[in-house]
A and B are shown apart, each in its own frame.
Chain A
Amino acid sequence: MLIIVRRAGIALLTLLIVITLTFFLLRKVPGDPLYMWAMELVQTHGLDFESAYEQVKQMYDYDPNEPLGQQYIRYIKGLMKGNLGTSMVYKISTNKIIVRALPWTVFVLSISLLISFGLGSLMGMVIAWKRKTALEPIVTAYAAFTGATPDYITALILLIVFAANLRLFPMKGAYDSALTPGFNWPFIKSVLRHAVLPITAYVFESTAAWAMAMKGSAVSVLGEDYIMAARARGLKERRIMISYMGRNAILPLVTGLAIALGTMLGGATFIETIFSYPGIGWFFGQATTRMDFGLMQGLFLVTAVVTIFSNLVADILYSRLDPRIKVEG
């Protein structure tokens, strides 16, 4: 129990470091970021500069003249209340944007993760079990290729081939904007159609990595005595592969899965941007290119929290799953 508390403590400290770093980073921007936003207000709403500046100051909750320490404290207090800031581009609170964007990200990425993990583990298991098979060089080559190709290139190729040129799948968005959201079939169909390419891009890119990881784990498990003992007991090959090798080999990967689940909440920025898919990653990309500091900070915080938290969970999960390991410091 004490160990969990200690790990949680480290996680919290890490989070604090990250929060502080981003805070000071965004406050130390050369030039005055508010100026730009104030000017925009002047142009779009016809306000005079003074009032525009005041309004921006309120939205971003940022007074350049206030001492930094005080700003920091106010920021932390705001965080505790769940105030993640306001988006300067969209003019609504970050929380509202998250509520809108999160479902899409979770939808696409959880399906992608499950498929790539499942497929990959299966492939890795089979390759490790059957020692000489035609499948192995193919998978190894596939792994080398996807390892070398950044995910945005894969996504781009898919976009170009299937969407732009073959017109099989749509180019952008989560669903056809002409439709009304709801539990009607045209909407659901549209959602599925729009999700195919992003999911394919992710799955294609990550499956190989899971396969190689599983293969490595399985090969070392195969060297253990109990595999041979199981054979001596006359157990069927398939049973040994799945329940004796597979169940043991997958343990280290579960940690990776938990972490991947957490990281995914940061949104796969590249994939979402390329397919203009309105998830957290897309919004984050927009925030950075359009210098929307409020949104940037809020979304990044969410990403950091979720990632740090999922690492913690992964640690604890692993020790629970493997009956052999007692949680050690």
Chain B
Amino acid sequence: MIPLLSIRDLVVEFDLGRGALRAVNRASLDVQPGEVMAVVGESGSGKTTLAFSILNLVPPPGRIADGEILFEDKDVLFLGPEDLRKYRWKEVSMVFQAAQNAMNPVMRIADQMVDTAQAHGKASKGEVLEKASELLGMMRLEPSQILRSYPHELSGGMRQRVIIVLSLLLGPKMLILDEPTTALDVVTQAYILDILADVREKLGLTMMLLTHDMSIVAKLADRVAVMYAGRVMEVGKIEEIFYDAKHPYTVGLINAAPSLIGDIDDKKPIPGSPPNLLNPPPGCPFHPRCAHATPRCQEEEPELKDIGDGRLVACHNWWLINRDS
């Protein structure tokens, strides 16, 4: 199958006065049409920057230094301003982290919907609002009341759902969600996840889900990519990742996530702290915290290798790793 989105060796740097910070360091990833790909990692792993790059929206002082992002075989990074504007939201849309502030405070929701649609072609106000109402209904919201409100008049959970509607308004082929449930209470979280699963089924969307919360991944994802220090460390189907992870970091993540069954004392956090992205250690970025590190890990950076059937790992010692390591 030809992937819908193909990221190849992406490098994104942030130019701080005292040096360049590599937020994304030669990351590669494929997303197949119709699947839900979860990108997992701690904060600072580079997943948000990766997502911004897909829309070519990396804010200064950041810039995309190298690599290619192919959407349906076109390199997004080489699109002219007008084409880029048309591509954004119509082909790929995004639900930002802490989306509460993603809407213009002085415009009604309805107007912002119309704005979004009309920026991409002629559409009558009526048509847009009809589509919006339909989507709002899918989100289990009352359309007429929502549409004439201002953003601040809605609760956090409602705003999150409105943002999701905005992102689906133009019928994009792919939806990126950045931490869609943080900053929400647990009940609302479950609700949103339910809705997302619903939407995915009804609209057949391709989704890229960025999160550090393994429980969401379990609920929605088909495949999982694990990022660390701006690199993709492991990619695989969800059962493979959960039950047969091959990268020490992935194993650590799975083991650290609390569950309803079992003793919390059995859970082990990953020792050490996230790497300094300004002066990264040589070799594999995870080696300072890895129980299986060998001298080779300190010198040579592992490549992301295909170990069969679409399973990718970036670790020198992957064959040694299993769940209980």
Known: A226-B101, A234-B90, A251-B106. 8 other contacts (CB 8 A): A232-B55, A232-B57, A233-B166, A234-B119, A235-B116, A244-B107, A248-B105, A322-B106
Kindly provide the distance from the CB of A241 to the nearest chain B CB, expressed in whole angstroms: 12
* B88 nearest CB across to chain A (Å): 4
- Give per-residue flags for A234-255: 1 if the beta carbon is below 8 A from chain B beta carbons, else 0: 1110010001100110010000
A228-B104 contact, Cβ under 8 Å, with A234-B85, A235-B116: no
Can you list 13 A-B contacts (CB < 8 A)? Answer: A224-B101, A225-B96, A225-B98, A225-B101, A225-B102, A226-B101, A226-B105, A232-B57, A233-B119, A234-B116, A234-B120, A235-B115, A248-B106
Rounded to whole angstroms, the CA-CA distance of A232 and B54 in the bound complex is 11
A225 to B115, CA, bound (A): 17
Bound Cα distance from A324 to B153, whole angstroms? 8
State which residues 289-329 of A face B: CB under 8 Å.
322-324
Give chain B residues whose Cβ lies under 8 Å from the Cβ of A239: 115, 119
Say how far B93's CB is from chain A's closest CB, in angstroms. Answer: 8
Please report the C-alpha to C-alpha distance between residue A185 and residue B103 in the assembled complex, in whole angstroms: 52
**In-complex Cβ contact of B86 among A232, A234, A248, A322 (8 A):** A234
Number of interface residues of A (CB under 8 A): 21
- Among B98, B102, B166, find the residue whose CB has the most chain A CB atoms closer than 10 A: B102
The smallest beta-carbon distance between A224 and chain B, in angstroms, is: 6
Contacts A233-B119, A235-B115, A239-B119 given; does A248 touch B104 at CB 8 Å:
yes
Is the pair B107, A243 in contact by a Cβ cutoff of 8 Å?
yes
How long is the Cα–Cα vector from A232 to B55 in the complex, in angstroms?
7
Contact B104–A234 (Cβ < 8 Å):
no
Contact of A323 among B90, B94, B98, B105 (CB under 8 A): B105
Q: How far is the CB of A266 from chain B (nearest CB, A)?
A: 32
B59 part of interface (Cβ distance < 8 Å): yes
Check A243 against B104 for contact (C-beta < 8 Å): yes
CB distance from A235 to the nearest CB of B (A): 5
B152 located at the interface, meaning its Cβ lies under 8 Å from any Cβ of chain A in the complex: yes
Q: Which residues of B have CB within 8 Å of A192? A: none
Q: Does B89 contact A (CB under 8 A)?
A: yes
Using a CB–CB cutoff of 8 Å, the interface residues on chain A facing chain B are 224-226, 228-236, 239, 243-244, 247-248, 251, 322-324
CA distance A322 to B59 in the complex (A): 28
**Are A228 and B59 in contact, with the CB atoms below 8 A?**
yes
Specify which chain A residues have a CB less than 8 angstroms from the CB of B150 in the assembled complex.
323-324
User: Number of B residues contacting the other chain (C-beta, 8 Å)?
Assistant: 29
B291 CB to closest chain A CB (Å) equals 40
Contact B105 A243 (CB under 8 A): no
Residues of chain B within 8 A (CB-CB) of A236 are 85, 119
Kindly state the separation between the CA atoms of A21 and B180 in the bound complex, as whole angstroms.
61
CB distance from A229 to the nearest CB of B (A): 4
A239 to B85, CA, bound (A): 13
Expressed in whole angstroms, the Cα–Cα distance for A243 and B153 within the complex equals: 20
Task: Report how far A271 CA is from B93 CA in the complex, Å.
Answer: 56
Q: How long is the Cα–Cα vector from A232 to B73 in the complex, in angstroms? A: 21
A224, A235, A239: most-surrounded residue (chain B CB, <10 A)? A235
| Contact indicator A232/B89 (Cβ below 8 Å) | yes
Shortest CB distance B126–A (Å): 20
Closest to B88 in A: A234
A226 and B90 contact, CB distance less than 8 A: no
Q: Which A-chain residue is minimally distant from B111 (CB atoms)?
A: A243
Task: State the CA gap A239–B311 with chains docked (Å).
Answer: 45
Interface flags for B151-194 (1: CB within 8 Å of A; 0: not) read 01100000000000010000000000000000000000000000
CA distance A272 to B119 in the complex (A): 49
- Please give me the residue from chain A that is nearest to B115 by CB atom: A235
Alpha-carbon gap, A185 to B86, bound state (A): 54
Contacts of A322 in B (CB 8 A): 105-106
Residues of B contacting A226 with CB < 8 Å?
A: 101-105
What per-residue 1/0 map shows which CB atoms of B76-93 lie under 8 Å from chain A? 000000000111111001
Q: What is the minimal beta-carbon distance from B58 to any residue of chain A, in angstroms? A: 10
Fill in one digit per residue for B98-128: 1 if any A CB lies within 8 Å of its CB, else 0. Answer: 1101111111000000011001100000000
Whole-angstrom distance between the Cβ of A223 and the nearest chain B Cβ: 10
In the assembled complex, the Cα of A224 lies from the Cα of B229 at a distance in Å of: 27
User: Of the candidates B85, B102, B106, which one forms a contact with A229 in the assembled complex, judged by CB atoms under 8 Å apart?
Assistant: B102
Q: Which residues of B contact A251 (CB under 8 A)?
A: 106
CB pair B104 A230 closer than 8 Å:
yes
Given contacts A234-B90, A234-B119, A244-B104, A229 and B152 within 8 Å (CB-CB): no
**Cβ distance B69 to chain A, nearest Cβ, rounded Å:** 15
Q: Which residues of A contact B57 (CB under 8 A)?
A: 228, 231-232
Q: How far is the CB of B96 from chain A (nearest CB, A)?
A: 6
In the bound complex, residues from chain A placing their C-beta under 8 Å from that of B98 are 225
Contacts of A228 in B (CB 8 A): 57, 59
